[in-house]
A and B are shown apart, each in its own frame.
Chain A
Amino acid sequence: MYNSHVSVGAIAWRSCILAALLLAAWPSDAQGTREDWPSYGGLWNAWRHSELDQVNVDNVRRLTAVWAFQAEDGAEGLQATPIVRAGVLYLSTSSNLIYALDAASGDVLWKYDARPGPPGVYRKQNRGVAVGHGLVFMGTIDNRLVAVDRETGRDVWQVQVQDPKQCGCSITGAPLLVKDKIVVGGTGGDLAYRGSISAFDAKTGAFAWRFYITPAPGEPGNETWEGDSWRYGGGAPWMTGSYDAELDLIYWGTGNAAPDMDGEARRGDNLYTASVVALSPGTGELAWHYQEVPHDVWDYDSAYEVILVDLPVAGRPRKLLLHPTKAGYTWVLDRTNGEFVAAWPMVETTWVAGITEDGTLVGRVEPAPGKPVKVCPSVGGGKSWNQAAFSPLTGLIYIPTANGCSFLHVRSQKPVPGKGYIGGFWKGAPASADNYSALVAFDPLTGEKRWELPYKYMLLSSILSTAGGLLFYGDAEGRFLARDARTGESLWSFQTGAGHRGSSVTYAVDGRQYIATPSGWGSMAAGGRARYPELRMLSSKTATVFAFALPED
């Protein structure tokens, strides 16, 4: 017996959620102050939630623009999450510029140019920097990791993580700084290559460790790849992981197996693709793994955000992680050991009939040579890489979802190292829903929808949650909005003049709370929607940051 909604038992314990959450709201090992936005997902737990509450549901209608900054780079819009430390906002642009701005005035303090030559397969994209040890860290389109002096913007060190000519890959995700290590993933899930996560000494740039997503012969997991297929198995972990300081584990979502559609070329489960891996930050040693989509044939990366929450399950407090993925499900795992807790669908999911109570996929709909299949979600995923937020005030997870389906065709292909290795192609197909996208408030354990805001166009910005009871995000039509996290009610909006692909943050300088958002449309997901030609005029590839605050009395 199975059901696509997994029962997690009676919900009588629900009333204790709030108490448990409030205790966990601000970890004692916070990397910055309460006024900062220190890491890609906010804190290491990737909640995208700030404890700042000066701006709240009662006064947000008075929010006003205080500065705007226009970056000299509109290649692919502005896709980053800015990092804010001690009143300085660090912004990366799609072509690998870094700007340091006075976070209160928007004045430029310095600019660093790491622009490489023409882009490879994955185009010009960058999703953010990491800041610490007096340095600002960024991965580049040509696969370097650069470290720049935080005060001056001058070069300190850089290292070629892998040869882009050889792997075809790039670094687009923000690095994760954990203690003395700077950790990066890379693109390449659709290339004939081995995806990996690499760590370097943050101060010196010295190589520390590398975890290959596809294990070599002699390593555990290699038996899940037939023949030599592990060499070309992809699995690139292209987004940013999370960290639990108490368990001292890094959590990282991994990409799809290559060739994407042709599963016959790589019989087996194909570890550790489409998985969550828990690694020791000091050594890169694998503590546990959980493969969400064994033997993926749908391009369903599990590369997205890993959100760390402590919640009671069946009356027992558990250390969990929430993992919304391209496959259209959010997986809930025990982050101490990788044990399956639940999986619930965010959108229409037809690629499996369901997931059993022990996490097994049932009724897989797989394409075969000469036998294309239609599956939902599309290869673009049940959400894009822009991230969900978790609010400890409501205990809900807020996910920008995407509706769509694909016809998948298999066509066998010879692997050429570092070149595209899809093993087929696809054509988009509409989902049963009219709206392309929605912002949905879900119960994190059951997937019960609390409220839903349909969007005709795709929502491609991350969601920001604040202790003021607010959610902030930008839409495809240029609006930057504030909503009541409890009800979804619209409380405030500002037209920034271009669609949103970046992620907003909040911070405080000298006692004043600011909310800053990138604006400017770009990326692969943003480009291919011929369904809505009118979006063209709303989707300019500009690169502007707007900052808002309450008026000073």
Chain B
Amino acid sequence: MARTFVIWAVLAPAAALAQLDLRLGAEVYARTCANQYCHGAAGEQGAAAALAGRKLRYSFVARSVIYGIANTNMPPWKEALPPAELDAVIEYVMSLQSAPSSAGPAPAAAPEARRLRHPGRALFFDPGRVGSCGSCHEFQGLGTAVAPLIEAVPGGVAGLRAARPARVDTVALESGATFPGVKVDGKGGQARYYDLRPRLPVLRTLRRDRVPALEGSSWTHAAALDRYSLAEQETIIEYLRLALR
């Protein structure tokens, strides 16, 4: 399967791939190729060769991406990326060929920019605050998905503090201690829970027969909010409203 794909990808003419999602390609490029040790944010050259505006041939780009280039830092990506992402990133690099090398990524649309610039977003994902909202919530592309997806925003800070997600259970340890836990899965003789006590949630794997879990918990969202002032919590609510609009 993988082998068939590789041969196809090398031989297929660029035109046949034109309909592929350039956005996926740009995203794969941003995470695998764009760092400055390599090709730079818009293929304008990092420590490795420039890619933009060089009229590179499709066969060369595809071969280089898939197999790497011997004796250079260009690694083969055929194992590291799924086929669709390989196709997309090759297509994206080809799309840079007609662009002048100074071209940056397209500017974000205005509402998107407003969302990204909102101070509540910086608070939500604040890297300087251990136990930020983002350490439990994945939201619009960032953060860790411990809690369920945020789909509605509480009316105000009081609502935010009182929120009691149905999914938090009381998990008993062998020692007799209990913790508020979010169940992730249970298979075989094991169950996995996020322990919400520490500042960063800890994913624990427990033996199911030894860990009776009681449904429900006295845990409320207030316990997770001590990293933020009330004013900051208001700002975060504003941001969430804007982002979910």
Complex CA gap A124/B46 in Å reads: 20
Contact A536 B131 (CB under 8 A): no
Contact A118 B198 (CB under 8 A): no
B214 touches A (CB below 8 Å): no
Contact A159 B201 (CB under 8 A): yes
Contact A159 B202 (CB under 8 A): yes
Contact A157 B31 (CB under 8 A): no
B98 touches A (CB below 8 Å): no
Contact A163 B144 (CB under 8 A): yes
Q: Mark A205-221, 1 if CB is under 8 A from B, else 0.
A: 11100101000100000
| Chain A minimum-CB-distance residue to B76 | A541
| Chain A minimum-CB-distance residue to B197 | A206
Give the contacting residue for B130; candidates A210, A416, A528; CB below 8 A.
A210
B72 touches A (CB below 8 Å): yes
| Chain B minimum-CB-distance residue to A216 | B128
Complex CA gap A155/B204 in Å reads: 8
Contact A420 B41 (CB under 8 A): yes
Given A119-B80, A205-B198, A422-B46, CB of A154 within 8 Å of CB of B205? yes
Complex CA gap A536/B119 in Å reads: 51
A527 touches B (CB below 8 Å): yes
Contact A118 B71 (CB under 8 A): no
Chain B count of residues within 8 A CB distance of the other chain:
45
A121, A191, A421, most chain B CB atoms within 10 A? A121
B142 touches A (CB below 8 Å): yes
Contact A160 B45 (CB under 8 A): no
Which residues in B have their C-beta under 8 angstroms from that of A425? Answer: 36, 40, 45-47
Give the contacting residue for A163; candidates B73, B143, B204; CB below 8 A.
B143
Contact A121 B203 (CB under 8 A): no
Near B by CB (< 8 A), chain A positions 104-122 give 118-121
Contact A419 B34 (CB under 8 A): yes
Min CB–CB distance B117 → chain A (angstroms): 12
Given A123-B75, A160-B135, A163-B144, CB of A194 within 8 Å of CB of B128? yes
Given A163-B143, A420-B36, A420-B41, CB of A207 within 8 Å of CB of B199? yes
Min CB–CB distance A500 → chain B (angstroms): 18
Near A by CB (< 8 A), chain B positions 117-171 give 125, 127-128, 130-131, 134-135, 141-144
A190 touches B (CB below 8 Å): yes
A313 touches B (CB below 8 Å): no
A204 touches B (CB below 8 Å): yes
Which residues in B have their C-beta under 8 angstroms from that of A190? Answer: 35-37
Which residues in A have their C-beta under 8 angstroms from that of B75? Answer: 123, 527
Given A158-B202, A194-B128, CB of A420 within 8 Å of CB of B72? no
Q: Mark B25-55, 1 if CB is under 8 A from A, else 0.
A: 0000011101111001100011100000000
Given A154-B205, A422-B46, A425-B47, CB of A163 within 8 Å of CB of B142? yes
Which residues in B have their C-beta under 8 angstroms from that of A205? Answer: 195, 198, 202, 204
A243 touches B (CB below 8 Å): no
Min CB–CB distance A145 → chain B (angstroms): 10
Complex CA gap A128/B23 in Å reads: 36
Give the contacting residue for A167; candidates B127, B141, B201; CB below 8 A.
B127
Complex CA gap A413/B35 in Å reads: 12
Near A by CB (< 8 A), chain B positions 69-121 give 70-75, 79-81, 85
Give the contacting residue for B144; candidates A160, A417, A421; CB below 8 A.
A160
Given A207-B130, A207-B131, CB of A527 within 8 Å of CB of B204? no
Given A159-B201, A166-B127, A527-B72, CB of A419 within 8 Å of CB of B41? yes
Which residues in A have their C-beta under 8 angstroms from that of B222? Answer: none
Contact A420 B46 (CB under 8 A): yes
Contact B200 A159 (CB under 8 A): yes
A353 touches B (CB below 8 Å): no
Contact B71 A166 (CB under 8 A): no
Min CB–CB distance A271 → chain B (angstroms): 16
Which residues in A have their C-beta under 8 angstroms from that of B80? Answer: 75, 118-119, 124
Complex CA gap A381/B199 in Å reads: 37
Contact A212 B31 (CB under 8 A): no
A450 touches B (CB below 8 Å): no
A193 touches B (CB below 8 Å): yes
A156 touches B (CB below 8 Å): yes
Contact B204 A426 (CB under 8 A): no
Given A420-B34, A527-B75, CB of A118 within 8 Å of CB of B81? yes
Given A162-B127, A420-B41, CB of A536 within 8 Å of CB of B70? yes
Give the contacting residue for B37; candidates A121, A161, A162, A416; CB below 8 A.
A121
A533 touches B (CB below 8 Å): yes
Which residues in A have their C-beta under 8 angstroms from that of B195? Answer: 157, 204-205
A456 touches B (CB below 8 Å): no
Contact B128 A212 (CB under 8 A): yes
Which residues in B have their C-beta under 8 angstroms from that of A422? Answer: 36-37, 46-47
Given A204-B202, A425-B36, CB of A163 within 8 Å of CB of B125? yes
Min CB–CB distance B218 → chain A (angstroms): 20
Which residues in B have their C-beta under 8 angstroms from that of A120? Answer: 31-32
Which residues in A have their C-beta under 8 angstroms from that of B204? Answer: 156-157, 205
Min CB–CB distance A168 → chain B (angstroms): 8
B36, B74, B79, B141, most chain A CB atoms within 10 A? B36
Contact B205 A155 (CB under 8 A): yes
Q: Mark A404-438, 1 if CB is under 8 A from B, else 0.
A: 00000000010011011110011000000000000
Min CB–CB distance A153 → chain B (angstroms): 12
Complex CA gap A75/B81 in Å reads: 13
Q: Mark B201-235, 1 if CB is under 8 A from A, else 0.
A: 11111000000000000000000000000000000
Contact B200 A204 (CB under 8 A): no
Complex CA gap A440/B197 in Å reads: 51
Complex CA gap A419/B104 in Å reads: 14
Give the contacting residue for A166; candidates B35, B74, B125, B201; CB below 8 A.
B125
Complex CA gap A84/B198 in Å reads: 31
Contact B127 A536 (CB under 8 A): no
Give the contacting residue for A157; candidates B36, B74, B81, B205; CB below 8 A.
B205
Q: Mark A136-175, 1 if CB is under 8 A from B, else 0.
A: 0000000000000000001111111111011110000000
Given A160-B144, A194-B127, CB of A166 within 8 Å of CB of B198? no
Which residues in A have their C-beta under 8 angstroms from that of B71? Answer: 529-530, 532-533, 535-536
Can you report 13 A-B residue pairs in the complex whose CB atoms are below 8 A from each other? A123-B75, A190-B36, A204-B195, A204-B202, A206-B197, A206-B198, A207-B130, A413-B36, A419-B30, A422-B47, A527-B72, A527-B74, A530-B71
Contacts A168-B35, A205-B202 aside, 12 further interface pairs with beta carbons under 8 A come to A118-B31, A157-B204, A159-B198, A161-B200, A163-B143, A166-B125, A166-B134, A420-B37, A420-B46, A426-B47, A528-B72, A532-B71
Interface residues of B (CB under 8 A from A): 30-32, 34-37, 40-41, 45-47, 70-75, 79-81, 85, 125, 127-128, 130-131, 134-135, 141-144, 190, 192, 195, 197-205
Nearest 6 interchain pairs by C-beta: A422-B36, A420-B35, A206-B198, A155-B205, A420-B36, A205-B202
